[in-house]
Amino acid sequence: MTFTRIATGDALAVLRQLPSKSVHACITSPPYWRQRDYEIDGQIGWEATPEEYLARLLPVFDQVQRVLRPDGCCWVVLGDTYVKKCLALIPGRFGSAMIARSWICRNRIIWHKPNPIPASATDRFTVDHEEVYFFTKCARYFFEQQFVPYSPKTTDRLRQFVRNGERFDALRHKSYNRQGGMRILEHLAHKNLQVKGRSSHTMHKKRANGEGEPLLRPEGANMPAVWTIPVGHCKELHFATYPEELVEIAVLAGCPEGGIVIDPFSGAGTTGIVCERLGRSFLGIELSPAYADMSKRRIQGARKKPAPRAGRAVREPSVGEPPARVAPPSMPMEPLALSFFSGAMGLDIGLEEAGFSVRLASETDEDARTTISLNRPSLPLIGDIMECSATQVRTAAGIGPAEIDLVAGGCPCQSFSTAGNRKALDDFRGKLLLKFACLAVELRAQYVLIENVRGLLSAGKGRALEKVVGMLADDGYAASFCLYNTAYFGVAQQRERLVIIGSRNGHRVPYLAPTHSDRLGDGLPPWRTLRDVVGDMANAEHHHVEFSEERQAFFKKLQAGQNWRHLSKEDQKAALSEAARGAAGGKTGFFRRLAWDKPCPTLVSRPDMPATDLCHPEELRPLSVEEYRRIQGFPDHWKLCGDLVSQYRQIGNAVPVLFGKAIGLTILEHIRTLRSDDPVPGFRYSRYAGTNDRDWAGARMRQKTRV
């Protein structure tokens, strides 16, 4: 069973996502230097000098070398360019550089074009060829010889040679020996005329007696290293299409039936068309979305055409037998993510909506584990990460040595929350954060994502956050972090969460791109409100806890958007104890009816707790589990297990789905571009100051100086 996929993105970034030793062949034609400006950021081929061009191109083939199997091969079609009337010799420089990077160059093939583009130059010859480099990764590799018909001259000479009873004699045919002609005839007439059970001498004797024609190999002669093939044509906009016949030779020679071919510069998708026809899996990578769409259209159109003639005859492979069926490499299109502290899977759903493929969940809470299994029955699920090694995680996820793009987790927050004892890393739950960071590093994930509460910024006087970021930095990760109000990302909830993202490629990940704002000057849509997400649920079935009758009496006196301060002075004294009334803070959570026209406050583990009431704007009840689910962005069909209190807790502790999606999109964009510039410089994501890596680091330094 084969597959065909086109990935849109930077070749180097996408290749880094593929597991090592996973593809059989690479067949590609990179953009030629200074030949065409494709007018897209990040393109290769428009650099100022050949050196800069090769400096960007060669790392792509370093990744190709990594993803190739030991018996794999790489075919590169590359043209040259004139600079101030002088050939830049780009193909030669490229070939030498590839050899210096441990590639084995088996052939430098000349692609002769009988229909070249006419040249207007009057002081040089027309260039009617390009070079095709055939590289291998190791000395032994898969290769099926290709053949061409014998020339009429060869068959005529062989026919005469055999009928005359000639047999090659190096002393007698010295002149022929120097030219090699007699050696070729001897090879054809005697060494290659053997039939099973019959010696070449017997065959020669029969031919010498005039019995029949000389026996030639039915396949023909070995293919030479000069290929005369007309230039390909594409009806759409791509100007640099190479011909299907050229690709066919490389596919048949270098990739076993059912194997995987990759083209990191897919262009018009010609390699994919040939792979589909010849029964090979194909993964194309294309930076330009327009050309990626063109590739898909051309491949889809080719499927509707009748299959062309059979390909060339081939001999038995030189290394091993080709597999009957090859699974696609792990996650060529969807980056691979592992989830820890998964809970009800809000973060996971968001990452999946962004484009990640979540391959593993981890959770210890029994109700949450049941929720995960009910909604994702085929997803591997592990328990306590304190008892897991990186090898065990990979085994459980079933990913083997595949490169992991993202390890994500919202570690328990009780040790860092300003509402708790704040034992930070001294608490066993705080130690989970360190274990998670160690495990992510051990897994060699490309990106590490940590989500937690605002209190992590100040827990242990900042030492907890400093410790975690330092651990990532020690292993080469560039870490950025910021405190975000989720309302800026389309969540109908003012929920502030700290997000740390570490990047193993050493490039800092920028802050998230906001989609909504409460400030007119930002030019974004306004924050989404409670009405936007639950206003249509009046007739839905709701499951919720109840307020006591005593508390209901006070809620009856309040309107949407009001709290205990809107009660009469007498009722205020009755509703809140003297200690509660004298406590610090605004106490706006006491007897709070939610407002329709504002985002919901932070959803807590249950909506009927006195200091954090979440009462429906109109009805005499707390928010229901169904409303919790909708506010957090979970799909309505998402099933929750456990009793009501457990369901509230699972949803209340979850990462809002849209917030998780925003994080995932930011990481995917960084995988593609490696850009570190913030999408909206100076954007205020939180009402608190000093809550991003830049500001926090400066404040931390000043704090240490004072001490």
From the DSSP assignment, how many helices (H) and strands (E) are in the chain? Answer: 23, 21
Other CB atoms within 10 A of residue 327 CB: 11
Domain boundaries along the sequence of the chain: 4-145+224-303, 153-222, 336-524+661-706, 530-652
| Residues, the chain | 707
pLDDT at 164: 54
Query: What DSSP character marks residue 187?
Result: I
Residues 668-703 pLDDT 10s: 999 888 888 999 999 999 999 889 998 887 666 556
The DSSP line for 384-408 is: -GGG--HHHHHHHHT-TTPPP-EEE
Q: What is the dihedral of CA 173, 177, 179, 185, to 10 degrees?
A: 80
pLDDT band of 198, cuts 50, 70, 90 = very low
Residue pair 229/243 in contact (Cβ under 8 Å)? The answer is yes
pLDDT at 296: 87
Alpha carbon 177 to chain centroid, angstroms = 58
Residue 657 pLDDT > 90, yes or no? yes
User: What's this model's pTM, rounded to 2 decimal places?
Assistant: 0.57
Residue 193 pLDDT > 70, yes or no? no
> Among the options 74, 255, 413, 600, which is catalytic?
413
Which residue from 495, 424, 437, 500 is spatially nearest to 464, judged by alpha carbons? 424
Which residue is listed with tokens 């014998």?
150
CATH class, range 530-652 = alpha beta
Which of 17-26, 35-44, 176-185, 196-205 is the most confident on average? 17-26
Average pLDDT rounded to a whole number, residues 300-305: 70
Residue 323 pLDDT > 50, yes or no? no
DSSP-derived 3-state class of residue 255: coil
Paired tokens of 254? 């270098």
pLDDT at 251: 97
Compute the Cα dihedral for 471, 476, 478, 484 and give only its sign.
negative
Residue pair 427/390 in contact (Cβ under 8 Å)? The answer is no
CA 72 to CA 25: how far, in whole Å?
5
Strand partners, 112: 129, 228
Residue 644 amino acid letter? L
CA 354 to CA 670: how far, in whole Å?
13
Are 4-145+224-303 and 530-652 in the same CATH fold?
Answer: no
Distances (CA, A) of 396 to 249, 360, 381, 385, 571: 41, 8, 8, 12, 58
pLDDT at 203: 42
pLDDT band of 205, cuts 50, 70, 90 = very low
Distances (CA, A) of 90 to 73, 131, 135, 242: 21, 10, 17, 18
Which residue is listed with tokens 């007897």?
591
Residue 204 pLDDT > 60, yes or no? no
Pairing type for strands 336-340 and 493-494 reads unpaired
Distances (CA, A) of 690 to 302, 482, 514, 696, 697: 57, 9, 19, 5, 9
Residue 213 pLDDT > 70, yes or no? no
Q: Which fold has domain 4-145+224-303?
A: Rossmann fold (3.40.50)
CB neighbours of 216 closer than 8 A, spacing ≥ 6?
A: 150, 155, 158, 188, 192
CA 491 to CA 472: how far, in whole Å?
30
Q: Which fold has domain 336-524+661-706?
A: Rossmann fold (3.40.50)
CA 218 to CA 195: how far, in whole Å?
13
Residues 523-576 pLDDT 10s: 999 999 999 999 999 999 999 999 999 999 999 999 999 999 999 999 999 998
Which residue from 320, 383, 269, 287 is spatially nearest to 141, judged by alpha carbons? 320
User: Across the chain, what does the average pLDDT equal?
Assistant: 83
Residue 413 designated active-site:
yes
Residue 462 pLDDT > 70, yes or no? yes
pLDDT at 416: 52
pLDDT at 325: 28
pLDDT band of 294, cuts 50, 70, 90 = confident
pLDDT at 178: 42
- φ/ψ of 494, rounded to 5, equals -90, 95
Residue pair 366/385 in contact (Cβ under 8 Å)? The answer is no
